[in-house]
Homo-oligomer: A and B are copies of this chain.
Amino acid sequence: MFGAYLTATREKKPLVHCITNYVTVNDCANILLACGGSPIMADDAAEVEEITAICSALDINIGTLNERTVKSMLLAGRRANQLGHPVLLDPVGVGASHLRTRTAYDLIDGVKFTVIRGNISEIKTIYAGSGTTKGVDADVADAVTDDTVPQAAAFAKTLAARTGAVIAITGAIDIVADGSRAFAIRNGHPKMSRITGTGCMLSAVTCALVAANPGHTLEATAAAVCMMGICGEMAAAASGTGSFRAALIDAMSNLDGAGLDKAEKCEEVK
């Protein structure tokens, strides 16, 4: 189903501007290259608008944010909006501090996001600050299980409709939705949570897929989520978590459209 989205990414080699945390930045750069994209990391206010202008997508990740980079995120996001480039928000740790929560809300107020990707807790915090129900917790469970898939899909669709962004909630079961449709994805492996950066890497890969497949944001995001999960499955035989990290990037560099078509476990939630 999604193989063609990966193939297009490898053909177009979209350049992705990342304003991202210094913890997982190397992994983000390497997995972008592995999936067929190309990374540029730049976070100074004096250059982010120009850098974003030469790229095809913008990845805003608020892990290890600081006053200086928050300004850059807003500037780059607005410029990407003007240019019609896809912009993804990865609200790492939103809810853990007022700075992170305020920054995420300010970003959503000032920038129109194409995709918002986080875990269920992060996405619920985003929901709480969006629309008119500011401060009210989303009525959705804290983990997506087989039982709660329909509820989580409805929640994601509501937030997608509100924000105009495709919402990707990642966990043991992933949910990807726009305002009218939702997918549940069951690729992945528990070992993915034993290393840092699988979420950040997925966000970077999503930017590449979305940039290479204009007009298909929902499907391209779902493709990226499947791809990351499949890489986790392929890497699971690694002898420990240090090797797992390298094997994950190996898997991404070796995955092709046919492999994705074959291994993806994605179904629409009706």
Residues of A whose CB lies within 8 Å of any CB of B are 21-27, 29-30, 33-34, 39-44, 46-47, 50-51, 54, 63-68, 93, 96-100, 194-197, 238-243, 245-254
Contact = CB atoms under 8 A, between A and B. Distances in A.
A172 B232 CA distance: 33
B41 A21 contact: yes
A26 to B, nearest CB: 6
A245 B25 contact: no
Given A22-B22, A64-B41, A194-B34, A249 B240 contact: yes
A23 B50 contact: no
Contacts of A252: 240-242
Contacts of A43: 64, 66
Given A44-B67, A64-B42, A241-B33, A194 B26 contact: no
Contact of A96 (B24, B40, B100): B40
Contacts of A98: 46-47, 50
B242 A250 contact: yes
A66 B240 CA distance: 34
A245 B246 contact: yes
B39 A196 contact: yes
A59 to B, nearest CB: 13
A23 B25 contact: yes
B47 A23 contact: no
A54 B63 CA distance: 16
A34 B246 contact: no
A51 B65 CA distance: 13
Given A30-B245, A47-B99, 5 more contacts: A26-B27, A26-B196, A34-B241, A238-B250, A242-B246
A41 B63 contact: yes
B34 A242 contact: yes
Contacts of A40: 93, 96
Nearest to A50: B97
A240 B251 contact: yes
**6 residue pairs, one from A and one from B, having the closest CB atoms:** A240-B250, A242-B249, A242-B246, A47-B97, A47-B99, A29-B196
A34 B68 contact: no
Given A30-B245, A196-B30, A245-B242, A46 B99 contact: yes
